[in-house]
Structure 1
Amino acid sequence: MASCDLRRRDRRVAEAVRHAIDGEPPTGVNSRLGLAFTIDSASAGISSVVPYRPGVVMRRFVIPALIMLVVLIMWSATPAIATVDDATSVEASQAEVPEGFEAAVIATEPQIQDPVAFWVDPDGTLLVAETERTNHGTMDNRSSPWQLEDDLQALTVADRVAYLEKWKDKRANGMDFYREKEDRVRRSIDSDGDGVYDASTIFAGPFNDVADGIGAGVMTIGDEVWYTNIPHLWRLVDEDGDGVAETQEAIQSGFGVRFALYGHDMHGLAFGPDGRIYWSIGDRGYHLETADGRILADPRSGAVFRCERDGSNLEVFATGLRNPQEIAFNDVGDLFTGDNTSDAGDRARIVFVAEAGETGWTMDYQSLDGDNLRGPWEQERIWEVVTDENASFRPDWTLPPIAHVGAGPSGFAHYPGLGLPEEYADHFFMCDFTGSRPNSKVWTFRPVPDGAGYRLENPRIFAKGMLNTDVAFDWNGRMLVSEWGGGWSATKQGALHAISHPRGMADPRITEARNIAIEGFANRGMFDLAELLGSDDQRIRQSAQQELAERRAVAAFEDVARYERRTLPRLHAIWGLGQVARIEAARNRKIGSAMRPLVALLRDPDPEVRVQAAKTLGDPAYAPAKDALVEALVDPASRVRYHAAMSLGAIGDREVAPYLIAMLAENDDRDRWLRHAGVVALARLEARAAVEELIASPAPSLRRAAVLVMRRWADPNLERLLFDDEPTIRTEAARAIHDLPVAEAMPALASLAAAYADAEGTTDQTGIEVLREIRRCDSSPDGKDLATLADFERAADSVDRLPVFEGIDDGGANYLTRLESRIRIPETGEYRFAITSDDSSILRIAA
């Protein structure tokens, strides 16, 4: 606490020196009364009062003493060097917000520069993940085409570094090019309590190793700060309270074996309802050697990971994502993210991230252009929500998105519950970053249960006018939004906007929650902590749950789970019992006392309580719950059946396989999420005899389930389904054999090639030719009427004949927006298209 006081004193002294030199009233001046004071350097107190005359008295009496005080404070306390910005002040935000809301800028550079992500502590301390390494250290295959083939072959971080060495002559200064720019974590504070961030330190950095970047996730966990920066997951600790992390420990390494595309980094740190830490990575892949000797590897896909709070038990939670920038949990503990487009006509996706789920993207698709643009991702509409048009040919091994929202999902946050009007309860807020301030937005929406999955309710634009990268909620009831400097490259600029609802901020529960969070939970009694499980702030509920779990407070959790009337505190009590069970199991102790209450709750009248009881019983694989979970497979609520199946798979008793098959048969492919649960459970059980039963079934839905289970095993017996009577099942088997691949089944797949060689319906594209004319503009057009832009009337700067239209890479930094247009051409002939682009653009012409 003393060091904090000294840093604030430093700032006041520095301001006094500056104002004295400028002839302005310094700190400690009452200009209305015409008085000023000098400062005694020994005591830092007022030693005399003199008449104040701007620029005269202060020069004569105050400056020497003030300068001496600055030196003495720095020598005796050695505080972190703080940057004082004399220009920063509360100013109007350009953000457009709903009626009744207000917006203000509460931080600008240098207190926030090139922000990718941020975190705000209860006391208002701001931690910002900043980067300078965009395309200068962390590269993009589109701007470095010579490395594409090597990038596609890289399997480890060492492979990536090796090919950078191979191509080092392509960079100015060779390998030093990759070390010239840095990432960092900045710590900013409001030193004088006026609501504006005015001082900062570099909390950790520089991160500028050849393999580093981009640092894109930061979160406080107790006294630790966790930070995601490929190739490492970092634990950072400020040991002495000086605003700088003395401890910088890599919890896990091996992330980001490829470059893929700019921005597809590791990010999205979040607390899970189960007490684990979750985070995401884009399709830069990973090759991880865990502390317990396991290898987790996938060089091609994005994923969500989770681990315990001490970094142990790292696992892949879900995969097949493209670039899930951030992730967040809703009030009932389900995980969601926004995933980006591949710039090929596909749309951004809102994904319900299910455990063991695969959403179908592989980084290899990004390199497919021309007639095979993005391969199956586009041709089989893997990216698209399920519709009547695509349901018959969309792959069944992938889980579909629940909606299409935005163009460039980035920051993603769940509203914790205080500060906004009631209509925003259990809503998510998502930054839509497009590289252009006028076209970037903050969306809001609420996922609502739909069978065992979700659908999206009322997605709408909440705010716009900011080049927003991240969104979070502070402890004053405000939404905070970070703003990038401009375009796609680092500019050393940035801002932080605060969006508030004055009536909502007047809620006394906000101050109460903030004070509770600042005071902490370690010294609170069991009764108080149990009461806080019912807080209106999700973060308080989570923290109280965590403290009770660490105390292994089974009785307190059981009382709330059984007797509390409100649903949310009961759910946190259920999750807390699951945490206790994992803690005890890790110490080889019995877990029955924590799990038995949940078995009884499988018959609770509240369906959400039954859902979470079924889910939590599988977390420590509590075998005595097997029979009760089998009964739950016929629960009226689809989500209860879903989690009962998943938990039975985790418990691992193959005797339950017939009941899982019965659930799949009753579902009959109607609910894809229920099918997913049944398939995952059978795959985890290694129930091969049950799969033989599925293969022999006359029901197509069960034979299809057999294919999906065998895909998870990479089973050579998939070749048997290549000759199924149902075409969609044959196709699903062929996909599995090809995609994985299953080498033993390849000859059987190849033998079918002749039957499809002369298939009808192919389109002859040989008559299409494109004349590309490029005209470089000195300034960005506003996009309102490109056809009449004067630049199009002059001679072209270059002309090329191409079989497929393509734009030019890195044409400039004035990115206007992402555009998708579909034009129906009524007849053959010659057509002219005007396209503005400073990045890769593709015009698809389909016959």
Structure 2
Amino acid sequence: DAASKAAADPYAKEGNIAPKIVKLSPQEEAEILKDVKVPEGFDVTLFSNWQAANYPVYVAAAPNGDLYVSSDGNGSLGREPGRGRVLRLRDTDGDGRADEVKEFVKNVDSPRGLIWDHDRLYLLHPPHISVYFDRDGDGIAEDSKKLIDGIAFGFADRPADHTTNGLELGIDGWIYIAGGDFGFMKATGTDGRTLQHRGGGVIRFRPDGSGLEIYATGTRNILGTPMSPLCDLFARDNTNDGGGWDVRFHHFSGLEDHGYPRLYKNFGEEHVPPLADYGGGSGCGSVYLHEPGFPDEWNHAPITCDWGRTASFVHTVQRQGASFAEITEPRPFIQMTRPTDADVDAMSAVYQASWKGPATFKWEGPNVGYIVRVTPKGYQPEPLPDFEKMSDAELVAALDSPSHIRTLTAQRTLLRREVNPVLSEALLALAKNPDKELKTRVAALYALIQVFEIDATNIKWLEPIASLVTENDLEPFVLRAIADLKFNPANQELPLEVFDDLVVMGLKSENSRSRIEALILSTRQRSKWGNSTEFGLFGNPMPMITALLADPDPRVAHTAFRALAMLGAKDAVIEALLSGPNPKGAAFALMRMHDVPGIVDDLLAKLAAEKRPETRQLLLATLCRLAQREGEWTGDSWGTRPDTRGPYYQPVKWAESDKILAALKSTLDAASPEEAAFL
């Protein structure tokens, strides 16, 4: 029974076993591997059993194949002390099996997503994100620094279910967070920037802990965001247990809302649809595979784990405008019981973790989990170079590797070097080279962008970087890179017309991804724009932005109304509602402008003067939406089945509510039968 079982487990109340290497016989290993199935053309070995790394939640491979494992005996529902740690597994003899284990971080609650970079490990461990340093390479962290405070709830409030989850380092130099929908009250970065998010989505920050921001919102409980060499982000979401939100496959482009829980049931026009809806399952961790040796049908694709469907799946996606389409059903890649996460090293080896054993959501004894290593049959990888010993020129050349992991490693190594004109010129030349693959040019561009914090001493680099926008394929990446620049225009003499020119060029581009990146770039300039009457050489860009409300690409049109709401551009948007090509899109933007001074008075004035029934209905709908707003969150949980009626989860009255309600009542009293029925 349960009582005798607990008595037999010395760790029933707290703690975890000390990890150790236990060599299995071929028969014992084969018995475990009966649980694993891989496609034809792949070899699989048991990299680790539960004795070396139990309860594996997330894994992160170093380029050389060292594997860092978030081992968490509390799972999603436990919160007992001493259950969590981070382990380093190493295969010293090259047989595909770990023969060394170290406790990299001996005791940390709820270890989740992790990234290895040279001599440091970025770790998300609710409620914080820290970086742990291992400068002597002995497999044990000797020092750490908190980067983000309060990015999730801690054990004092709740266990780590629906928490802030995976981490992904992009070639653009940002770390992307897969955020669960229980959200966070007040996250604070190293630069003092604070953020609150009631919901799930993608959050990002720079590796130094600065620049914290919401990248996309409206998901449920995503655990990973596999990212391509071209900065395409995806995720496999979780179901809301029968409430109409099944396992969805998302693509993230920036600024967008995916609809959970406020919009997906009743406000479908105001959120982006998923690429796919798979029905039941339970999305977990993920990896983007872009490595040599893998057959085409398994390569250059996001791979997501599904606990409930007992496999990781390869997604065949094809760019479709500013987003993607999944053109075939996902195909199972590594099948196993309860897969939790996967990662790939620079030697074309994939590592995937399983939670096989008696545990489901919390501690059930020590014998839970294993990790496998999967490689393309017969493939011999090129020897891994010593990146630290390579010259700047060799590292720039290494950006052209067929391995994304090697490209990223070369780029990270370059970013630790002293900035010098020769290196900068070499990166610029590679970014300009039309004979190179786009991913190589993008890696060079983002290396160049990250080398500089633009100020008066290196402003000369801004124009040549911006000039790359004329290279058609590079256009969206240049716009994104310029938007991401670290600089403070208030304190520097910078040629801001460069930014205006780029925005205008992007907004007019035939490339729908460029149009989205231009919209995002415009929101970065919102202190200068909004309802300002001062614009650059090309005049007021707002009509060009409002024109995108009617963009034929639905992802662009969605992003346009989200951007206009962020910009608070009420005058231009009201004009677009009255006479633009997509008045409804304009209304969606206005519905999100509670904090723009004068918004209600302006709308009421337009309503009083407006005679056209369709336009009056849009003005009335906008005022009805503005009559309430989302209430202040005090940290309470909305649980696994929140109210989905929308458009607010916690609607409350605000300063302008009474004025709006009085106007709506008087309008109703004088309304035609048709308008009264609408109201």
TM-score w.r.t. structure 2 length?
Answer: 0.78
| 1:730 Cα offset (Å) | 4.8
> Is the counterpart of residue 134 in structure 1 residue 33 in structure 2?
no
* Counterpart mapping for 1:145-160 below 5 A: none
What's 1:743 paired with? 654
Distance 1:664 1:88 in 2: 67
What's 2:259 paired with? 360
- Contact 1:260–1:284 at 8 Å: present in 2 too? no
| 1:555 Cα offset (Å) | 0.3
What's 2:481 paired with? 616
Distance 1:650 1:629 in 2: 11
Distance 2:94 2:483 in 1: 48
* Counterpart mapping for 1:667-682 below 5 A: 668=550, 670-682=552-564
> Is the counterpart of residue 301 in structure 1 residue 199 in structure 2?
yes
Distance 1:252 1:628 in 2: 32
What's 1:488 paired with? 361
- Contact 2:175–2:204 at 8 Å: present in 1 too? yes
> Is the counterpart of residue 417 in structure 1 residue 291 in structure 2?
yes
> Is the counterpart of residue 111 in structure 1 residue 55 in structure 2?
no
CA deviations 1:100-126 (Å, max 9, x no partner) are 333332211111201110112233222
> Is the counterpart of residue 404 in structure 1 residue 277 in structure 2?
yes
Specify whether residues 684 and 417 from structure 1 end up closer, same or farther in structure 2 by C-alpha distance, changes over 3 A only: same
- Within the candidate set 406, 414, 438, 1:540 is matched to 406
SS at match of 2:276: coil
- Within the candidate set 176, 195, 199, 2:96 is matched to 195
- Contact 1:561–1:570 at 8 Å: present in 2 too? yes
| 1:710 Cα offset (Å) | 5.4
What's 2:153 paired with? 257
- Contact 1:239–1:247 at 8 Å: present in 2 too? no
Q: Which amino acid aligns with 1:350?
A: F
Distance 1:541 1:734 in 2: 52
- Contact 1:88–1:108 at 8 Å: present in 2 too? no
Specify whether residues 289 and 613 from structure 1 end up closer, same or farther in structure 2 by C-alpha distance, changes over 3 A only: closer
- Contact 2:629–2:654 at 8 Å: present in 1 too? no
Distance 1:425 1:657 in 2: 46
Specify whether residues 133 and 339 from structure 1 end up closer, same or farther in structure 2 by C-alpha distance, changes over 3 A only: same
What's 1:394 paired with? 268
Q: Which amino acid aligns with 2:614?
A: D
- Within the candidate set 333, 339, 354, 1:468 is matched to 339
Task: Kindly indicate which of the two structures has a greater share of residues assigned to helix.
Answer: 1
Distance 1:616 1:314 in 2: 16
Q: Which amino acid aligns with 2:449?
A: G
> Is the counterpart of residue 499 in structure 1 residue 389 in structure 2?
no
What's 1:785 paired with? none
| 1:262 Cα offset (Å) | 5.8
RCO greater where, 1 or 2, for CA within 8 Å and sep 6 or more? 2
Specify whether residues 429 and 88 from structure 1 end up closer, same or farther in structure 2 by C-alpha distance, changes over 3 A only: farther
What's 1:478 paired with? 349
Distance 1:687 1:735 in 2: 18
Distance 1:452 1:103 in 2: 37
| 1:480 Cα offset (Å) | 1.7
Distance 1:628 1:237 in 2: 39
Q: Which amino acid aligns with 1:276?
A: W
Distance 2:324 2:348 in 1: 28
- Contact 1:482–1:496 at 8 Å: present in 2 too? yes
Q: Which amino acid aligns with 2:657?
A: M
Q: Which amino acid aligns with 2:444?
A: A
Distance 1:352 1:719 in 2: 38
Specify whether residues 600 and 293 from structure 1 end up closer, same or farther in structure 2 by C-alpha distance, changes over 3 A only: closer
* Counterpart mapping for 1:754-773 below 5 A: none
> Is the counterpart of residue 341 in structure 1 residue 216 in structure 2?
no
Q: Which amino acid aligns with 1:224?
A: R
| 1:536 Cα offset (Å) | 0.2
- Contact 1:680–1:709 at 8 Å: present in 2 too? no
| 1:269 Cα offset (Å) | 1.2
SS at match of 1:459: coil
CA deviations 1:14-41 (Å, max 9, x no partner) are xxxxxxxxxxxxxxxxxxxxxxxxxxxx
What's 1:426 paired with? 300
- Contact 2:89–2:102 at 8 Å: present in 1 too? yes
- Contact 1:683–1:713 at 8 Å: present in 2 too? no
SS at match of 2:521: helix
Specify whether residues 330 and 113 from structure 1 end up closer, same or farther in structure 2 by C-alpha distance, changes over 3 A only: same
Specify whether residues 475 and 733 from structure 1 end up closer, same or farther in structure 2 by C-alpha distance, changes over 3 A only: farther
> Is the counterpart of residue 441 in structure 1 residue 314 in structure 2?
no
Specify whether residues 136 and 342 from structure 1 end up closer, same or farther in structure 2 by C-alpha distance, changes over 3 A only: closer
What's 2:580 paired with? 699
Specify whether residues 747 and 426 from structure 1 end up closer, same or farther in structure 2 by C-alpha distance, changes over 3 A only: farther
- Contact 1:280–1:327 at 8 Å: present in 2 too? yes
Specify whether residues 441 and 194 from structure 1 end up closer, same or farther in structure 2 by C-alpha distance, changes over 3 A only: closer
Distance 1:546 1:745 in 2: 51
- Within the candidate set 681, 689, 697, 2:571 is matched to 689
Distance 2:458 2:570 in 1: 30
Distance 2:174 2:589 in 1: 29
- Contact 1:707–1:718 at 8 Å: present in 2 too? no
> Is the counterpart of residue 597 in structure 1 residue 534 in structure 2?
no
Query: Where do 5+ consecutive residues of structure 1 fail to align?
Result: 1-80, 139-177, 363-375, 381-392, 760-847
What's 2:453 paired with? 584
Specify whether residues 525 and 266 from structure 1 end up closer, same or farther in structure 2 by C-alpha distance, changes over 3 A only: same
Specify whether residues 276 and 533 from structure 1 end up closer, same or farther in structure 2 by C-alpha distance, changes over 3 A only: same
CA deviations 1:710-755 (Å, max 9, x no partner) are 5155447358769683557754654455352561343356566997
Query: Where do 5+ consecutive residues of structure 2 fail to align?
Result: 1-17, 488-494, 530-534, 608-612, 632-652, 675-679
What's 1:222 paired with? 118
- Contact 1:447–1:457 at 8 Å: present in 2 too? yes
SS at match of 2:106: strand
Distance 2:369 2:85 in 1: 14
- Contact 2:247–2:283 at 8 Å: present in 1 too? yes
What's 1:204 paired with? 105
- Equivalent pairs counted in the alignment come to 586
What's 1:642 paired with? 516
CA deviations 1:349-401 (Å, max 9, x no partner) are 22222323332325xxxxxxxxxxxxx55632xxxxxxxxxxxx5141x3332
Distance 1:186 1:660 in 2: 52
> Is the counterpart of residue 234 in structure 1 residue 130 in structure 2?
yes
- Contact 1:185–1:205 at 8 Å: present in 2 too? yes
CA deviations 1:758-805 (Å, max 9, x no partner) are x9xxxxxxxxxxxxxxxxxxxxxxxxxxxxxxxxxxxxxxxxxxxxxx
Specify whether residues 399 and 88 from structure 1 end up closer, same or farther in structure 2 by C-alpha distance, changes over 3 A only: farther
Distance 1:115 1:657 in 2: 56
What's 2:169 paired with? 271
> Is the counterpart of residue 289 in structure 1 residue 188 in structure 2?
yes
Distance 1:731 1:719 in 2: 15
Distance 1:488 1:88 in 2: 30
Specify whether residues 534 and 729 from structure 1 end up closer, same or farther in structure 2 by C-alpha distance, changes over 3 A only: farther
- Contact 2:318–2:326 at 8 Å: present in 1 too? yes
Alignment RMSD, CA only? 3.2
- Contact 1:719–1:745 at 8 Å: present in 2 too? no
Distance 1:524 1:117 in 2: 31
Distance 2:63 2:558 in 1: 39
SS at match of 1:711: coil
| 1:203 Cα offset (Å) | 1.6
| 1:310 Cα offset (Å) | 2.0
What's 2:178 paired with? 280
- Contact 1:130–1:215 at 8 Å: present in 2 too? yes
- Contact 2:284–2:340 at 8 Å: present in 1 too? yes
